Structure 1
């Protein structure tokens, strides 16, 4: 019963965070309180290196009572830390220039502000979930010397439509030179203006159509689509023509007697029919990868569709919340596909396989996050994940993901675990003949990811820029199209690679098909190095570890997804060609 209650509680919490991602309903009456949240501050060129706004010696407003903000799990995992500003703002109530606090600039405070100005520190705030950005200060040459100034006045121009806030703009004014010992007064003013912007369209100002809908983006989609048409046509023509000749040759061989057949020059993929359905090496790990790949593919597709339908980019942490929820509830798919494949390949230690399949990806994610968390804690960055959030993620893995994976594994072993290969497997493995160097599995694996990477190359640039720079990715229709293109190209390329391998009488196609498709991720990770050094101005240990750590996870998930799709398509192809030819 305890497990049932914990499971229901976890699912309920995730559902609530998906449906009610706000602390209020965005409806205000005149003079209702409007909260200004101070979020993070950090260097402009290191977007992920963020600290609490009050890590700099800023001061708070006079109001100190607030009671309707609740941090969600996804916000905690992303380092979104909100603190009440203490500023009194009321709906449709203008406020003239008003001092809200004052500080005396000590030596320590001066050094902190100068460091922030030198490194182009920006800060982020929220009003009614609308993000606002401002700069801490700016350097200036005075009398042949470098001086540093900070902005001390915040001017808010807030647009409203009816009873809803639809626009917020910040203007930073009143530069003050950072001189030790001076007293600095911080002021603000609020101006309310009626706006014609609809509430549903209030995030449009944060989008960048000129960047995401540039002609290069459209051209890349069209180019990838043409690649799919060409590749599918080429694969169909080559394989059907070649297979037709193979079928004709094998049919002719069937008409000869045994002596002529023994003296004949037999070669090709038919010769390995007794070994082609032999279980893959390291079957437990292979089945765990395939099960996880099914789950990741469905999660990615679901999140893209939800983002298209629900505009998840308008809510803080909503994409991560959706991904966690979908990943948890699709755990039975992981267990069913991985457990069924493990049973079909003769695996017997199914509990160990189930645990590996359930915890493999969460362990990799948590391990990477744990490593980066140490660096974040050393830097006192807001990206440091709280202990309570770690416990919550652990509980989801133990009390939600593991039981659902167990259910899926049991169903998979009983419903889909019966061997059904169209050819029987010989007792003794056939020796693999020598072949050309370019037919070796390692070479095929290295070449297999080039075309799939080429089909998503341009889209990777837009995705990287949206995550590592100040862009909001919203063209999920493009992403869905690129996702479909990637799947089709991956299947076609992997089928061709597998046909060449089998024609060379090498029956080690399972891992080869998986890794040939997964090698796309290796090219993506190599591209991430180019992007880091030539397209960004990131610097520092924290940002470097964060970038390459999470890019490794991104590439890993992409590789498992592509590898699974490549294996599934190839498996269908292999079963088809060997079920058509009559085998004695």
Structure 2
């Protein structure tokens, strides 16, 4: 059996390595191709602004210092200022996409174009300074591509994109030492295109390959009647965010600082305003080196350059997995060989009686301890090693190992919800590896994940009801309601409370009231009926799980456990091993979610391999830990197996705290609250998922080893 186990593990590893290049090949295909003819209008959408220094996002169109929409009909039938319909994932991630007034026509360059002049008061100016000071980045969209700032790799061999562009920048005055804030009020838009593939290209149609945005700050003065500066290519004074008046403009005309306001006087007028003119330039550049299918590649150059680190993570995971596999193989080899050599426990009992062996003692039986006389009880022949091996360790608790755990009515809904999460996670990673979920499907990861979670409600109810009945439960309807409410209720309550803080900040991440009612409706009309139906079938049709050994009438007394087998120590040690499998890959996930704020983590080929090894590591770690616990004559493995699988969540949360201290620079109470609350929620969901994996693995393991024991 050990040879078969090792062969199956080798087969799994081989399959994973063959699947890795396939998963990589499908990480970003596109959906339908949008083609443009010469002169066709290209709509530009504005979305939101976000920052690495805070978790608060804002809708770009709602900023008080940007140009308000004119509500005019743009070519193509779109109305500026109209909101684009969003899916659930886009709403939850804070997207607020709106049609802008920027006019782009395929193939038509426009060196300078005036957009508007926005007048801001002191309150609006304060908001603009806050946005610039926090380092906010704006996200615009053209042909489903986010506007990006272009950079070149260190070796200058490849170009890569950083999504978004800076709203403004901060400088320190060399005369006063105080910070000064400048707003980028001019953007140069570069649209990269090529001939469309197939027949569309033969008809002269083109496809967009890239959308680059270069922002610049230009003073409000020295403009012509149309609002344009005389020459955009020459050096201009930047537009400073201040209400002050320049009083020493001609004092140091020969100094480079003369182009800035050396001394500022504020008249203190409440009705003072600052006029901010907005202009833009548009350039189209043909790119024959990039295909339409690979147009997202520049957004992931940094992730591709870290391929070596990903392989280190995989090698690290495989090393740990190999060690665990060896230990599990030894356990199975030892038990199976022992069962073949020594026979079943029934024969051992009969031999033990003939040789003076006492049956395992139950709690409540009267004994005289070690000072009993040989005539009072049977004695053990210590010279017979086979008999000692037969009645020590995990076999001693055979009559108690399937005894229903305390508070089993709580464990059953956890297992059901965990099965629901397993179905969702496997579905998401599979769809991502095969390209169904990709950056062109904005918000798709959350939307599809929600759909899979709801559909998996039937599995949640089924497994929860069967486990519940196995533990002796009778009120299956109550169990169904608890199962259907556990995870959605936890998430809804957390999000609703956090939403109160986000609403107060007028952030775009605040979930609209209508969306909250929609989520509640999905739970009531989809999740609850599916869980109820699955519970009915699992409880009445499938019934309870059968066990190879019936529980005894009297519970066995558990001896004092060694320090390494105590629940807390054993769980923490077991959780450290799966964490060691994934902690390198976690760094990339954290960087994508918390540092970049883009969510563009799409190297799912590596993540799928590491996740598979993680599941196997959790399973093997649980087997080892439960075996140690049973050998210590502790038969309370039901809850402990769940905690063994979930324990790595505690290490992940500790790692997130380390990442927060050393990598993030969040400011503000709300941002810090959002980080820790969402991290704790994510770790809880992960712990529930892995805890279910640990429970199912331990249950299969215990059934397997005790199925060879026959008791009268």
Q: What TM-score do the two structures reach when normalised by structure 2?
A: 0.75
- 1:35 partnered with 2:40: no
SS of aligned partner of 1:477: helix
State which drifts further: 237-246 or 544-553: 237-246
**Structure 1 residues 552-572: Cα deviation after superposition (integer angstroms, max 9, x where no partner):** 121111111111111111111
Report the equivalent of 1:361. Answer: 487
CA distance in 1, matches of 2:677, 2:559: 41
Report the equivalent of 1:206. Answer: 299
CA distance in 2, matches of 1:567, 1:77: 32
How far has the Cα of 1:239 moved from its partner? Answer: 4.0
- 1:127 partnered with 2:135: no
CA distance in 2, matches of 1:104, 1:293: 54
Q: In the alignment, which of 28, 33, 57 is matched to residue 50 of structure 1?
A: 57
Report the equivalent of 1:5. Answer: none
Report the equivalent of 2:328. Answer: 235
Report the equivalent of 2:72. Answer: 64
CA distance in 2, matches of 1:564, 1:553: 17
SS of aligned partner of 1:285: helix
Unmatched tracts of structure 2, length 5 or more: 1-29, 148-163, 197-205, 219-237, 244-272, 359-378, 381-387
Q: In the alignment, which of 184, 187, 195 is matched to residue 154 of structure 1?
A: 187
Report the equivalent of 1:475. Answer: 603
Report the equivalent of 2:668. Answer: 540
How far has the Cα of 1:110 moved from its partner? Answer: 2.7
How far has the Cα of 1:246 moved from its partner? Answer: 6.7
How far has the Cα of 1:206 moved from its partner? Answer: 0.8
Alignment of 1:54-133 (within 5 A): 54-60=62-68, 62=70, 64-65=72-73, 66=78, 69-132=84-147, 133=164
CA distance in 1, matches of 2:86, 2:168: 29
**Structure 1 residues 191-238: Cα deviation after superposition (integer angstroms, max 9, x where no partner):** 122222222211111113456634222112111112212211222114
Larger Rg: 2
CA distance in 2, matches of 1:387, 1:259: 76
- 1:269 partnered with 2:394: yes
Distance 1:130 1:304, change over 3 A: same
Q: Does the aligned pair in 2 maintain the 1:514–1:567 contact within 8 Å?
A: yes
How far has the Cα of 1:461 moved from its partner? Answer: 1.0
Q: Does the aligned pair in 2 maintain the 1:77–1:385 contact within 8 Å?
A: yes
| Alpha-carbon RMSD | 2.2
Q: Does the aligned pair in 1 maintain the 2:31–2:440 contact within 8 Å?
A: no
- 1:224 partnered with 2:320: no
- 1:448 partnered with 2:585: no
CA distance in 2, matches of 1:147, 1:443: 54
CA distance in 2, matches of 1:33, 1:282: 65
Alignment of 1:502-517 (within 5 A): 502-517=630-645
Alignment of 1:431-580 (within 5 A): 431-470=557-596, 472-580=600-708
CA distance in 1, matches of 2:561, 2:68: 74
SS of aligned partner of 2:53: coil
Q: Does the aligned pair in 1 maintain the 2:89–2:447 contact within 8 Å?
A: yes
Q: In the alignment, which of 553, 556, 566 is matched to residue 427 of structure 1?
A: 553
SS of aligned partner of 2:707: helix
CA distance in 2, matches of 1:235, 1:560: 24
Q: Does the aligned pair in 1 maintain the 2:88–2:446 contact within 8 Å?
A: no
SS of aligned partner of 1:507: coil
Alignment of 1:157-306 (within 5 A): 157-161=190-194, 162=196, 163-173=206-216, 174=218, 175-180=238-243, 181-196=273-288, 197-210=290-303, 213-241=306-334, 244-245=337-338, 248=341, 250=345, 251-257=347-353, 260-262=356-358, 263-264=379-380, 266-306=391-431
CA distance in 2, matches of 1:210, 1:50: 25
Larger fraction in helix:
1
CA distance in 2, matches of 1:243, 1:510: 23
How far has the Cα of 1:438 moved from its partner? Answer: 2.3
CA distance in 2, matches of 1:195, 1:40: 28
Q: Does the aligned pair in 1 maintain the 2:653–2:683 contact within 8 Å?
A: yes
* Total equivalences in the alignment: 562
Report the equivalent of 2:384. Answer: none
How far has the Cα of 1:167 moved from its partner? Answer: 0.7
Distance 1:210 1:354, change over 3 A: closer
How far has the Cα of 1:380 moved from its partner? Answer: 0.8
Report the equivalent of 1:13. Answer: none
- 1:388 partnered with 2:508: no
Unmatched tracts of structure 1, length 5 or more: 1-21
SS of aligned partner of 1:208: helix
CA distance in 2, matches of 1:44, 1:96: 32
SS of aligned partner of 1:580: coil
CA distance in 2, matches of 1:481, 1:294: 20
Distance 1:140 1:98, change over 3 A: same
Q: Does the aligned pair in 1 maintain the 2:44–2:99 contact within 8 Å?
A: yes
Q: Does the aligned pair in 1 maintain the 2:59–2:95 contact within 8 Å?
A: no
SS of aligned partner of 2:56: coil
Q: Does the aligned pair in 2 maintain the 1:37–1:83 contact within 8 Å?
A: yes
Q: In the alignment, which of 304, 319, 323 is matched to residue 449 of structure 2?
A: 323
State which drifts further: 340-349 or 259-268: 259-268
- 1:350 partnered with 2:476: yes
State which drifts further: 234-243 or 506-515: 234-243
How far has the Cα of 1:147 moved from its partner? Answer: 2.8
State which drifts further: 154-163 or 489-498: 154-163
How far has the Cα of 1:241 moved from its partner? Answer: 1.9
How far has the Cα of 1:403 moved from its partner? Answer: 0.9
Q: Does the aligned pair in 1 maintain the 2:401–2:636 contact within 8 Å?
A: yes
How far has the Cα of 1:295 moved from its partner? Answer: 1.4
Q: Does the aligned pair in 1 maintain the 2:181–2:241 contact within 8 Å?
A: yes
Report the equivalent of 1:14. Answer: none
CA distance in 2, matches of 1:44, 1:232: 41
SS of aligned partner of 2:277: strand
Q: Does the aligned pair in 1 maintain the 2:65–2:119 contact within 8 Å?
A: no
State which drifts further: 93-102 or 479-488: 93-102
CA distance in 2, matches of 1:305, 1:153: 43
How far has the Cα of 1:63 moved from its partner? Answer: 5.4
Q: Does the aligned pair in 2 maintain the 1:105–1:183 contact within 8 Å?
A: yes
Report the equivalent of 2:4. Answer: none
How far has the Cα of 1:154 moved from its partner? Answer: 0.9
Report the equivalent of 2:20. Answer: none
CA distance in 2, matches of 1:95, 1:339: 66
SS of aligned partner of 1:30: coil
Q: Does the aligned pair in 2 maintain the 1:117–1:137 contact within 8 Å?
A: yes
